A and B are shown apart, each in its own frame.
Chain A
Amino acid sequence: MSFEMWAEKYRPKTLDDMVNQKEIVERLKSFVKSRNVPHCIFAGPPGTGKTTAALCLAKDLYGDAYRERLMELNASDERGINVVRETVKTFARVRSIGEIPFKIMILDEADNMTSDAQQALRRTMERYTETCRFIMCANYSGKIIEPIQSRCAPFRFTFLPRDEQDMYLKHITDDENVKLLKEGLDAIFEVCGGDLRKAINTLQAAASLNKPVDAKVIYSITGKASPADVRKMIETVMGGNFLDARKQLRDMIQKYGVAGSDIIRQIHTEIFRTEIPEPWKIRLADVVGEIDYRLVEGADEEVQLSALLARLVEAGSELRKAS
């Protein structure tokens, strides 16, 4: 078993290595062949190969010299307008020496950029097209402003289908000598969907226990590894235990830094899944909407969300009375 992050170790190094997103990869390969790359948007859910594709593209294009010609910026760490004005501009405007006249800038998690920063980026993209091409990676292309979208070639990444993910994981388990049972493989797909990064991280954490990886191991790991277990919190609160639920909420917000807007989005989804009387669902949706709006206005996340939790306690008790 090797002691590095497998998600990195087994990240494809060239476009040829990429097994998934076949159509996208083919188009990217044609860019390499023609030695020209347009500005691109790679949109799609996490763990589907956006960053990998961008990195592979750069490596195939520049060969070993790719390090000097490539810059990776993470918009969710550095998303302010100043980054665009300084870091991005400085990199973009300097012509690169060599056969290919432009450099590549990967803007990861670009949907987290402020709209100010995006506006500033728009001019930079136009002005320095000759010297720099941008690849914007984002979960939701809708969060990228129209003017930028219209300047970019869009690529839509999708979750890996089951067989492709399985193939990938099997390759790793063979290489690392890990015993992964069929039920373990099923469980990974169930909890990770087609998010390959999460799947590999889950696999590695499971393998670190040094025993055959079965479904139980996978579930216990993902249970521990997902701090924002909104479903569990809702169960707790519907069972009438407000104090415990508030504690969970508090941990999510304060310990794990989960954003209130993420929590409320999940609560909204869960409410329609939970078994409560139908009329209650819409009544609760109304409360959720109101709380969501307050959060947008900048209200205290824990106070607002726990008011929502209290409503759920009420719903739970009505439910028990009815049955």
Chain B
Amino acid sequence: MYTAWTVKHKPKSLAEVIGNKETVQKFVDWIKSWDKGVPKKRSAFLYGPPGVGKTVTVEALTADFQIELVEKNASDYRTEDAINRFAGLASQYGSLFGGKRIVLLDELDGLTGTADRGGVKAITDIVKTAQCPIVLIANNAYDPRFSNLRNYCLLVEFKKPPAGEVTKHLRRICILEGIQADDEALKFIAQRSGGDVRSAVNDLQALAQGRKSLTYEDVSWLGYRDRQDTIFNVLRMIIYGRTCTSAKQAVGMADVDIDMLFEWIYENVPEHLTDPHDLARAMDALSMADVYRGRIRATQDWSFTRYVIDYMTAGVTMARQNTKAQGWIPFKFPARIQMLSRSKAERAMQLSIGNKIKRKCHISANRASKEVLPFLGIIFKNNADMAAGLAKWFDLDAEMVEYLAGTRKKTEKHR
């Protein structure tokens, strides 16, 4: 069954709320002040950008202090009448069993002029006379509509938690879900979310659910997510187009640069053109586009770009003569790009092992990493004693040993 991780891994107590420690404390102090009688400000107005934990804080607090929570949000009608019926009752009298109670009016930004007519005024009236804590939540407390209401409220500002805190939260979720995740990957998600914890968790779920591991390469394409629809259309026009003109026009629609578009086409052409002759022609065209890229580099004459475009678009379009337009085949993100960073790290590792071998075996690090290292890999995977001896003999560090033994997390290709 599908459960949103934002719900499943919601903070259950205040201690689990991410960031905003002082803010939360200010809010808690205010709630506690109710124990000594009705405070001057009968309402707390929590505000801040989306996904930073405003609602979650209130929910966690009511759980921690065992306070009853009465909640209304934008999904409810909030005309003057509706609010009076609901909040009026809730605030004038104590809880049915003498316990404490908080009234929460969430998503105040959602109060619309016509449908929720008089809503703000009704809320203001309730706040003025409330007998129990009223909590208001909105993204922007300084909206002119709230100017009067603000006077009666304790303003509590929630800020975006730092990426480090968000990363920690994502890490916690990964542990609970049994996912081995690279720090880099989580950091990337956290940073991209810009402090919006909810969207970070949503992203994490979209990328990681059902997987055992999550690497940087798996997430790095996230940035392209928003542009995917356009690029798919562009690829469709190029691979399944009929005329050179339309294929060439597709370039203008793609909001990626020429080199990146080339990668998209190069990655996807063989997935679609199944006829060997079509494929050979298309790959030929792409290789010619690449030749022209080289000529641009050599001459620094960028006007040659037009031939690059001709070959990679029209050249590919004209290659399709026998392959029928197929049903829906998904387009893939250029795997080469994903692989690049991983391979770089891997080759750096191979070379550093190669350097260790070089010191002992009178062979260049380069050759060692190609000719000796594969044998070491076999030994390290099969014979722990010999591996230990060799690790000492070569003076390998733990990371190198793990690499050779293959116990380091394997980076899997993203589906």
Whether chain B is bound by chain A comes out as: yes
Q: Which residues of A contact B (CB under 8 A)?
A: 1-5, 7-8, 11, 46, 51-52, 55, 72, 74-77, 108-109, 112, 197-198, 201-202, 204-205, 208-210, 221, 224-227, 240, 242-243, 246, 250, 254-258, 291, 294, 297-300, 302-304, 306-307, 309-311, 313-314, 316-317
Q: Is the CB of B382 within 8 A of A209?
A: yes
Residues on B with C-beta less than 8 A from A300 are 290, 293
**Chain A residues, Cβ within 8 Å of B298:** 297-298
Beyond A204-B379, A310-B279, A314-B280, whether A8 also contacts B294 by CB under 8 A is no
Cα separation A246 to B282 with both chains bound (whole Å): 15
- Give Cα A8 to B279, complex, Å: 49
Interface of A is mostly: helix
Please report the C-alpha to C-alpha distance between residue A208 and residue B270 in the assembled complex, in whole angstroms: 41
Residue of B at shortest CB range from A293? B291
Chain B proximity of A311: nearest CB distance (Å): 5
Give the chain B neighbours of A75 by CB distance below 8 A: 364
Check B284–A310 contact: CB distance below 8 A.
Answer: yes
Q: How far is the CA of A307 from the CA of B394 in the complex (A)?
A: 41
Sampled A-B contacts (12; CB under 8 Å): A5-B361, A197-B363, A201-B371, A225-B378, A255-B346, A257-B350, A257-B370, A298-B298, A302-B336, A303-B290, A310-B270, A310-B283
Contact B343 A3 (CB under 8 A): no
Name the A residues within 8 Å of B362 (CB-CB). 11, 51-52, 55, 72, 108
Chain A nearest CB: distance from B340 CB in Å?
7
Contact pick for A298, options B277, B283, B297, CB 8 Å = B297
Query: B104-138: contact bitstring with A at CB < 8 Å (1 yes, 0 no)?
Result: 00000000000000000000000000000000000
The number of chain B residues with a CB under 8 A from chain A is 55
B246 interface residue (CB < 8 Å to A) = no
User: Is B303 located at the chain interface by the 8 A CB criterion?
Assistant: no
4 interchain residue pairs of minimum CB distance: A3-B389, A307-B287, A208-B383, A225-B374
Q: Across the interface, which residues of B come within 8 angstroms of A316, CB to CB?
A: 276
A residues near B369, Cβ cutoff 8 Å:
257
- Nearest opposing residue in chain A for B355, CB measure: A77
On whether the beta carbons of A77 and B358 are closer than 8 Å, the reply is yes
Chain A CB within 8 A of B399 CB? no
Complex partner residue of A227 from B279, B366, B374, CB under 8 angstroms: B374
Q: A3-B389, A224-B374, A227-B374 are in contact. Are A303 and B266 (CB under 8 A)?
A: yes
Query: Closest CB-CB distance, B267 to chain A, in whole Å?
Result: 9
Report the bound CA distance from A202 to B286 in whole Å: 40
Minimum CB–CB distance for B283 against chain A, Å: 4
> What chain A residues lie within 8 Å of B386 (beta carbons)?
1, 3, 208
Which listed residue (B283, B360, B365) contacts A306, Cβ 8 A? B283
Identify which of B294, B392, B393 contacts A294 (C-beta below 8 A). B294
